[in-house]
A and B are shown apart, each in its own frame.
Chain A
């Protein structure tokens, strides 16, 4: 158990819909990272927040957005969902903004039908 929690574990929805994935980092960790893992793209970095502010952006689509709240939990919002958005979405946390050791959550499996 990494100490990072993600909800929900599974999510099934339809194309065009919007969903919110939630992540609670380890106690005391200020950085939160989001990654997407699909069969054809592998593990891809999406975005990082540090203490409420966006720090780094990867291959995140404009239909996706994220935020980190004052209590440090983070949400990843995915809208206008397409079949290709079906993937495992992982959240990770680390104490510092340059996370040498990141602790990953168990992931949310999103299926878009």
Chain B
């Protein structure tokens, strides 16, 4: 599985867009990019995933660069409840096992 690199922490003002970067320079063609988040010791929560194209759902948008070596998760209007650890995961396994890294701690401030 490709390794990912994320900044350890970020701050964002409430109501503003939160842009969380992830580098996955060794990603291969069949590897998906997943984003999960974990709010203070709760079970992780799926956010979004993608392969090549940009994706959007009710929670967030995922922008994947053309060379697929990096991606950005965008929370369009961050709220205090979005304060969490965000994990970027790259996976190509035939199962669903997720290899979590250290993630980015996003602090949304009033």
List the interface of chain A (C-beta within 8 A of B).
2, 4, 31, 33, 35, 42-45, 48, 50, 55-56, 58, 88, 90, 92, 94, 96-107
Contact = CB atoms under 8 A, between A and B. Distances in A.
Interface residues of B, number: 21
Given A55-B95, A56-B95, A44 B43 contact: no
Contact of A48 (B34, B87, B97): B97
Contact of A101 (B41, B49, B97): B49
B96 A104 contact: no
9 contacts: A43-B38, A43-B98, A48-B95, A58-B97, A90-B44, A98-B93, A99-B96, A102-B44, A102-B98
Contacts, number: 68
A106 B43 contact: yes
A97 B96 contact: yes
A42 B102 contact: yes
Contact of B43 (A2, A45, A50, A97): A2
Contacts of B46: 101-103
